[in-house]
Amino acid sequence: MTDFAALSVEQFLNDLASSAPTPGGGTAAAVAGAQGSALVEMVCALTLAKEKFAAVHDAVRSIQDGAQVARGEFLDLARRDAEAYDAVVEARRLPKETPEEKAERSRRITVANRRATEVPMQTARTAVRILEALPELVEKGNPNAISDLGTAALLLEAATVAALLNVGINLPGVPDPDFIAQMNSDTADLNERSLRLRDQVVRDVRKRF
């Protein structure tokens, strides 16, 4: 399985642009989340570098640690999203001649579809977890890097909503009403929180111009 982190940016984009089924939108969403996390880390680093922000260093260090962990998770999710979708494609190609083959194929498709909703749901959760820290960082962080926090919020929100589109597209393939209801409920909650946090951060950033 491809480790996207090791590819050059240009090669990753070429792979994304190709007609191969993966990498696709789920991987792109996770990489956008990793970019957002990296920008949060940068703003933290620019705050920790200045003695005049010493009073907030402990709080900022904690946000930086969280963003760094999230960046690693996003790169892992980028890979796992492609694996999950490849498994869906593979399951669909299984033979379906005999009743036994049909049953086995159907079972494998269900398992793969379920996985193809769980992985992007995790991408959305990780993105919202970092978004939740941004209003505090807008208050406490180095104001010279305020526009970078706005960019981080935009990329993390895009990652969230995009990941949830990938949940939604794969969800009808999971014949489990309780699971579907839970995923739909989580989707509505994460969509709402990410948009609200994005709007709050972008508005606060624009106030500083």
By CB under 8 A, the residues from 135 to 164 that bind its own copies are: 145-148, 150-152, 154-155, 157-158, 161-162
Cα distances from 165 to residues 25, 162, 188, 202, in angstroms, run 9, 5, 11, 23
Q: Which long-range contacts (CB under 8 A, 24 or more apart) does 188-196 make?
A: 190/124, 190/125, 190/128, 190/160, 190/164, 191/160, 191/161, 191/164, 193/128, 193/131, 193/132, 194/124, 194/127, 194/128, 194/131, 194/156, 194/157, 194/160, 194/161, 195/157, 195/161
169: contact with its own copies by CB under 8 A: yes
Q: At closest approach, how far in Å is the CB of 188 from its own copies?
A: 12
Compose the 45-64 pattern: x for residues touching its own copies by CB under 8 A, - for all others. xx-xx---------------
Distance from C-alpha of 36 to C-alpha of 27, rounded to nearest angstrom = 14
Tell me which of 165, 173, 179, 180 binds its own copies, using CB under 8 A: 165
Residue of 61, 96, 203, 206 interacting with its own copies (CB under 8 A): 206
Q: Tell me which residues in 1-40 interact with its own copies (CB under 8 A).
A: 4-10, 12-14, 16-19, 24-26, 28-29, 31-32, 34-39
Residue ranges in 68-87 that form contacts with its own copies under rule CB under 8 A: 68, 71, 75
Q: Closest CB to its own copies among 111 and 154?
A: 154
